[in-house]
Structure 1
Amino acid sequence: MTEISGGEAVVRALRMDGVEYVFGLPGYHIMGIYDAFYNQPDIRVITVRHEQTTAYMADGYARVSGKPGVALVVPGPGVQNASAALGTAFACSSPVLLLAGQVERDNIGSDRGALHEINDQQDIIRPITKWQKRVLHLDGIPQAIQEAMRQMRTGRPRPTEVEMPPEALLEKGEVHFSALTSVSPTSPDPQSIRSAAELLCGAHKPLIWAGGGTILAAASNELTSLAEALGAPVATTPEGKGIIPEDHPLSIGVGVYGHGSSTWASQEADVILAVGTRLTGQMVGLNALRAPQKLVHLDVDPSVIGKNYPAEIGILSDARLGLGALAEEVRKLGARRDRWPEASLVDIRSKQDRWLSEKAPRQKELWSRMQRVLPDDTIIVSGNTNMGYWGHYAYRAKKPRSYITSSYFANLGYAFPVSLGAKVAAPDRPVVCVTGDGGFMFALSELATAVNYGINVIVIVFSDSAFGATKDDQLTRFHGREVGTELNNPDFAELARVFGANGMNVEPEKLDEAIEVALTNKGPTVIEVLVPTRVPPFHVNPRTE
């Protein structure tokens, strides 16, 4: 058996698992891995300008491709910088492997002040990873990486971490690689399926809530089939957006912050099927479940079933297998005929449209302009900005893995670097980053990364010269006492051109025309749109009747 270095063992383990990209930022402790990347054709290394971006790009890549994304950083500050992005991946159940350096073996835990030392850095990432492993010697590297990958493919696919000191990456020896094992998704208990199908078939007005877990499980066909068999409308969380085409007659769009078509449908529902969602605290107002409604809760993570609302029936299962089994059983039993009349669902969607026109007319118009010119396979990365929030309701996603949010973690600044990873995963599809001026500045330096690697994203910066949501909070809840929310911005279009990207300044009424141009551009494009500060949906009181 040929002797290899620890760095070569890392690269070989990644190659065995089919990894094609690694997003990294080099430094002393991990140069053994970088040296192993030299002159090998299978894995492309993309170097970024900030460690946060390594994990953000890995997250965007994972969410669009469905494959694990890999980030590579130095210990200490590298891990700390990447941790915010890792937290987003954790919140969104995204399979991201963080490969991290460690200080020298003799310095681990010594508190001597070694370069980049933190005692103990795993305490930082433990709450935001599913599994972690510190490998001190060469022979443990392959097994650790293979187990990290297996953990992300088993059950709920949250991030993992493997860290190694520099000696382990430089030493050479004979290394054993285990054969890769296939992972079978969790199958549902047949009795739970029968009980749930009987409850759903006997319901007068069943309602389905679909979350991000349905996207992760590739359960679009099964969900749509079940909805059609039941005649049940489907509401989604923002993370589940696109799991059923939002122009499907049974789709009623996103419900969140106490808003959405679901607020009308929820009032009438007697049995609710929640799948791939924990029904978070954002399920407020008329979106919240309440007695005597009965909940069927299907999820691959046993810890979330019935966590926020008591479940009449819990089904531990992969969403695709569970929904498929439910659809088959429902067709056997036969659903009631006196269900949601088509006219009532049309009326519900009309009410939502009127509500949106009343509460956010300009945002609705801008999203309509965008929708008119963007192809159906466009990937939207919806940032934590006013237009991003309202996009949950105003934009109609037609496909799974085409609408990306940061879930409850709500990182400001995540959208642009995540969109870069999304574009790497889908180079032939348009990727549009919707961001505000405050959020875009977090990762502005990654324009250099986009230009360097030809990552041709379209970035739409809605600029109100403020941290808009917090400014609106000060204008309303704090009676106009503005402190620390005003911003002094550069000309973002001009700045893009300085980096070598395309830059455009446009009036809101010309946004659709600008996007049409951007879709034909070579290289990334930044479109700056000046807008006033507007109210976000979570500052609009939820409906109560």
Structure 2
Amino acid sequence: MPAETVRLTTAQALVRFLAAQYSERDGAEHRLIPGVWGILGHGNVAGLGQALLQAARTGEADLPYHPARNEQAMVHAAAAFAKTRNRLQAFACTASTGPGSTNMVTGAALATTNRLPVLLLPSDMFATRVAEPVLQQLEDARAGDVSVNDAFRPVSKYFDRISRPEQLIPAALAAMRVLTDPVETGAVTLCLPQDVQAEAFDWPVAFFRERTWRIGRPVPEPDAVERVAALLRNAKRPLIVAGGGAVYAEAGAELRAFAAATGVPVADTHAGKGAVPWDHPQAVGGIGSTGTSAANALAARADVVLGVGTRYSDFTTASHTVFGDHAVFANLNTARLDAAKHSAEMLLADARTGLKALHQALEGWSVADGYRAEARRLADEWRETADRCLRPGPGPLPAQTEILGALNEALDDADVVVNAAGSMPGDLQMLWRARDPKAYNVEYAYSCMGYEIAAGVGTKMAAPDREVVVLVGDGSYLMLSSEIATAVAEGLKLVIVIVQNHGFASIGSLSESLGSQRFGTSHRYRSDESGLHDGDTLPVDLAANAASFGADVITANGTAEFREAIAAAKASARTTVVHVETDPTGPNPPGSAWWDVPVSEVSALDSTRDARAVYDDRRRAQRHYL
């Protein structure tokens, strides 16, 4: 008997398929694809747009549609949603042919770099090619099957182009496999030619059955556990580096218990912050280029480093200078790529199961009391330093750190702070006091300006019961603020803090340290005298701009008014923007590590030559960890 079929367009079939996908871990089941972000245009309005409308009108598939204002932003929102849901759910994103689709490439790069699942459905040219060249088509003289969407290939973990309807069946199944793979996840791209979207086909009904994609917890090999346990037993100065894998695996309880029992101090990366609360007895704060003096001092003398779910970015290792020559690594990770880094002893496993196995293998073992006391002393000294950084200063404008201190005090443990690029991630890694693993959403794998407000939207959708506070500098705000309108349209309440310092504070400070004199880092008029942008400050009114999107806006002058504004914003039921001006040269927390940014080897400027001398000196500490 022939298999039962149903006649649908490719787009209608995709919508019906996506609505029937589920994920499951530890017995908890979730809708894998809870909805679709999109901006409709000539490539998808009559394809996926029609299919989503039909699904909503007829009830044949439950796949809500969320219109965005910017294609890059909707991918950021999807990534932040997936991060908040520990990668157990992933939004789809659809865009029209040409610029609409390629505008998602930056979002794809962010998702893949951060290993966050998002499903991208860029529209493509006509598969028949009968009408080419069509509007917005890239003509490549070397190949007829190349379109602008091939730009997604290097930033996608899975890529396919559906040039015939029936190709959707294996491609869609492969896409779900990658989205639910903790090791291989990231951006998944299915390019959809606009004619194929609207083409009908007789689909097997079985294609649309409910499928549950099980996300397991790989257990470690006993021999590997014993090898890592042996390293730790013989260690005098071990250190744990907790990364995002500890958070996504929901291994916080196991990590806290392991650290408390063994006394091994725990440093964290941006993605790992909150896995161990900041005031845990073994917590020593962020590590690396923007890490605490406590974590970096312990790293410099550590003899065994246990990485838990970290990929060891250059900020984490301070460009391979933070760990000493004598350090030996052991890495607990689901990904062999990360587990093998720094010539490590590999423990391939889920962070939760791996920590449980290690804890059992090390039962009764602990570091020496003197080492516990040393780690505690260093952590206490850093906290005193942080307290000073967070206090009000003498200047007419508050320093950024002062604003962060007031905000940290105002937020509850479950409230979420969202940030990405600029100087704030460094200040946050050093100073932010998180007790909850989902209270800190700082994107620093791709460090993408413009992530912040869009990510706030995605975070709030994933955690509607939490207060979501977006921290955004004026530089990032000017790049991508449009999703304030999306938050208003969706009825999502955000608190958005615009830190206005009239330029790029982070790059300005970096430029100065590298001998480039803050060139091109301020929002100012071009000066007739110098020919450079060092004239008066531009009269840009970000508060008025935010109000034009439909948000409530409060302008705070100074820290006292900022505290009042945050209290009012938290009490409000509407998206509220708090605008505060800060000193762009305000004091930063004291650094204790380096970051490799090459300085010009020859220069006519004294400032650059002096910076190169410092660079050459610091670079001598770099090493391969062998």
Fold similarity call, TM over 0.5: yes
The Cα shift of 1:160 comes to 1.1
Structure 1, residues 16-75: CA drift from partner, whole Å, max 9, x if none?
A: 112222111111222211111122472221111111012111111111123123211123
* 1:408 corresponds to: 445
Quick one: which amino acid aligns to residue 147 of structure 1?
A
* 1:42 corresponds to: 62
The Cα shift of 1:244 comes to 1.4
The Cα shift of 1:123 comes to 3.4
Among 300, 303, 307, the alignment partner of 2:337 is 303
Q: Is the 8 A contact 2:260 2:281 kept in 1?
A: no
User: 1-side partners of 2:285 and 2:358: how far apart?
Assistant: 22
Is 1:9 the counterpart of 2:43? The answer is no
SS at match of 1:113: coil
* 2:258 corresponds to: 226
User: 1-side partners of 2:578 and 2:478: how far apart?
Assistant: 14
The Cα shift of 1:290 comes to 2.4
* 1:501 corresponds to: 551
* 2:72 corresponds to: 52
Among 355, 372, 376, the alignment partner of 2:409 is 372
User: 2-side partners of 1:181 and 1:57: how far apart?
Assistant: 23
Change (3 A) 1:199 1:473: closer
The Cα shift of 1:542 comes to 2.5
Structure 1, residues 265-292: CA drift from partner, whole Å, max 9, x if none?
A: 2234221101211222221289722232
Structure 1, residues 214-234: CA drift from partner, whole Å, max 9, x if none?
A: 222222122222222321111
Among 436, 441, 452, the alignment partner of 2:473 is 436
Quick one: which amino acid aligns to residue 148 of structure 1?
A
Is 1:389 the counterpart of 2:421? The answer is no
Change (3 A) 1:13 1:287: farther
Is 1:160 the counterpart of 2:188? The answer is yes
Among 85, 105, 111, the alignment partner of 2:107 is 85
Change (3 A) 1:258 1:436: closer
Quick one: which amino acid aligns to residue 193 of structure 1?
V
* 2:593 corresponds to: 542
Is 1:417 the counterpart of 2:454? The answer is yes
The Cα shift of 1:122 comes to 4.5
The Cα shift of 1:500 comes to 1.8
Is 1:22 the counterpart of 2:36? The answer is yes
Is 1:107 the counterpart of 2:122? The answer is no
The Cα shift of 1:320 comes to 2.2
Among 333, 358, 382, the alignment partner of 1:352 is 382
Instruction: Let me know the Cα RMSD of the aligned residues.
Output: 2.6
The Cα shift of 1:10 comes to 1.2
Is 1:531 the counterpart of 2:582? The answer is yes
User: 1-side partners of 2:296 and 2:426: how far apart?
Assistant: 17
Structure 1, residues 177-218: CA drift from partner, whole Å, max 9, x if none?
A: 164453434332221011111221332232100111222222
* 2:175 corresponds to: 148
User: 2-side partners of 1:59 and 1:449: how far apart?
Assistant: 16
Q: Is the 8 A contact 2:413 2:439 kept in 1?
A: no
Change (3 A) 1:140 1:185: farther
Q: Is the 8 A contact 1:390 1:536 kept in 2?
A: no
User: 1-side partners of 2:290 and 2:256: how far apart?
Assistant: 24
SS at match of 1:320: helix
User: 1-side partners of 2:470 and 2:282: how far apart?
Assistant: 28
SS at match of 1:408: coil
Q: Which runs of 5+ in 1 are unaligned?
A: none
Identity %: 26
User: 2-side partners of 1:336 and 1:518: how far apart?
Assistant: 46
Among 325, 340, 357, the alignment partner of 1:291 is 325
Change (3 A) 1:489 1:437: farther
Quick one: which amino acid aligns to residue 381 of structure 1?
V
* 1:338 corresponds to: 368
User: 2-side partners of 1:14 and 1:187: how far apart?
Assistant: 30
* 1:62 corresponds to: 82
Q: Is the 8 A contact 1:412 1:439 kept in 2?
A: yes
* 1:271 corresponds to: 304
Quick one: which amino acid aligns to residue 280 of structure 1?
S
Q: Is the 8 A contact 1:55 1:96 kept in 2?
A: yes
Change (3 A) 1:325 1:49: same
Structure 1, residues 349-377: CA drift from partner, whole Å, max 9, x if none?
A: 23223444677764443222112221111
Quick one: which amino acid aligns to residue 120 of structure 1?
S
Q: Is the 8 A contact 1:202 1:335 kept in 2?
A: no
Aligned pairs (5 A) from 1:171-210: 171-176=199-204, 177=207, 179-210=211-242
Change (3 A) 1:499 1:364: closer
* 2:249 corresponds to: 217
SS at match of 2:326: coil
User: 2-side partners of 1:401 and 1:106: how far apart?
Assistant: 47
User: 1-side partners of 2:126 and 2:264: how far apart?
Assistant: 59
Change (3 A) 1:75 1:315: farther
The Cα shift of 1:238 comes to 0.9
The Cα shift of 1:513 comes to 1.8
User: 2-side partners of 1:145 and 1:540: how far apart?
Assistant: 48
Length, aligned pairs only: 539
* 1:131 corresponds to: 158
* 2:48 corresponds to: 33
User: 2-side partners of 1:481 and 1:385: how far apart?
Assistant: 14
Change (3 A) 1:535 1:103: farther
User: 2-side partners of 1:222 and 1:93: how far apart?
Assistant: 23
The Cα shift of 1:314 comes to 1.1
Quick one: which amino acid aligns to residue 382 of structure 1?
N
SS at match of 1:529: strand
Report the more deviating stretch, 54-63 or 152-161. Answer: 152-161
Quick one: which amino acid aligns to residue 124 of structure 2?
Q
User: 1-side partners of 2:68 and 2:214: how far apart?
Assistant: 33
Quick one: which amino acid aligns to residue 157 of structure 2?
K
Change (3 A) 1:534 1:123: farther
Change (3 A) 1:430 1:508: same
Q: Is the 8 A contact 1:389 1:536 kept in 2?
A: no
* 2:25 corresponds to: none
Q: Which runs of 5+ in 2 are unaligned?
A: 22-30, 139-145, 392-398, 525-537, 595-617, 622-626
Q: Is the 8 A contact 2:389 2:589 kept in 1?
A: no
SS at match of 2:170: helix
